[in-house]
A and B are shown apart, each in its own frame.
Chain A
Amino acid sequence: MSQDVATIRVTRYRPEKDGKPYFQDYKVPYRKDMVVLDALNYIKANLDGTLTYRWSCRMGVCGSCGANVDGVPKLTCASFLHEFKGRTIKVEPLSHFPVIKDLVVNMDDFMHKLVEIKPWIIREKESPPEEGEYRQSAEELERYDQFSSCINCMLCYSACPVYGLNEKFLGPAATAIAYRYIEDSRDQGKAVRFPIVHELEGVWECTLVGECSVVCPKGVDPMLAIQKTKILGATNALKSLVMPRGGK
């Protein structure tokens, strides 16, 4: 009884032992409905308990399991083995981030940027609960809805060559989330967020490669958010030239 087998070629890096990462091959049983995360879990449970990687919800909503699968940034829980040609699949840590161990990358830079753009509603003055809820029409919701789908999985940063070459670049997800709040009719935080997205290392570094939107698993389209933020920046700058005191 022969069983169909796949080879998972995983990056190993143990900083206390290895000077450089190397590949290790594991043979896992191949079932048609297996995802890469299933294969990693099989390896850890049955073949090598030292393999280290992040995962959580296993259904594509938590954003924990990002990795470069056959060179493409993907969620391992959303990558079916049958999507890939052949029976050998390469799994590497998410590109453009420093590797802590095996497939685990250092997320500090992204976390810092996420906090920097203040991902919450900013009000000049909070209305007391007695005044009721902030009302928002369906049209107003639509202006930012898709950008609120971001699960902070960082695949877009791995896909972005600009970020890969310049770590200071604010990046796709942070800009998309900032834009989500800029466009939210309940938010009054433009004065706080604009300096961050419109500084030199903000949206202006983006050259519209567009790979961020290609790899995004939730259809956020960060390239669109960045482009719209550029247009906001240019029109604001023009307005401030023409009307130095007035306008916002």
Chain B
Amino acid sequence: MLAIFDYKAGNQTSVHRALEHLGIPNEITNDPEKLDKAIGIIFPGVGAAGQAMEELESGGLDEVIKKLIWQKKPVLGICVGCQILLDYSEENDTKALEVIPGECRLFNPSWVDYEDISIRVPHMGWNQVELLQDCELFKGIDPDADFYFVHSYYPAPKEEFVIGTTRYGIDFCSVHGRKGLWAVQFHPEKSGRPGLQMLRNFYNFCREAADAE
């Protein structure tokens, strides 16, 4: 079973619907026992980083998710869930979970994109990912596939944790982490077939990791 981490700042139900569609057993929960039994955790998030951290801290859920990560439970962070795995976010001047070194920064609307016109903020819509490292999440996904983004802040982790980048004014990091702890800025649950394939890949990785134990 995959657990969808429930902390009131997530798009839990859309992730849930996508997993249901794929026939992947899943549950929206923040019960530490259930999370511990799950073979992997999806850590979603929408809205603002400050509010997301407040929700996490108020219930002690920040320690729960951190402990699962230290125990090497496979985790997939999505959008704000991806951002707050870093040390810090400029959004609401937020101290974040400090799981992956780096910070989250605001797009600058004076940056220009490929058409030589200023970028619009938020970065909203479909964009591609260029992989700098091999990543199990992208198995079987066309390199030209687009993913759905909607965000005003972008992750800027320490270089060795950058897995993939996306062009929007600058080449920002859209996938970061390490094997088994992945964070994606886009929404795989809203990215059509390539996104669904990514969720399936994550599930398959979790199953293999659980079987190997």
- The answer to whether A and B assemble together is no
Residues of A that sit less than 8 Å from B by CB: none
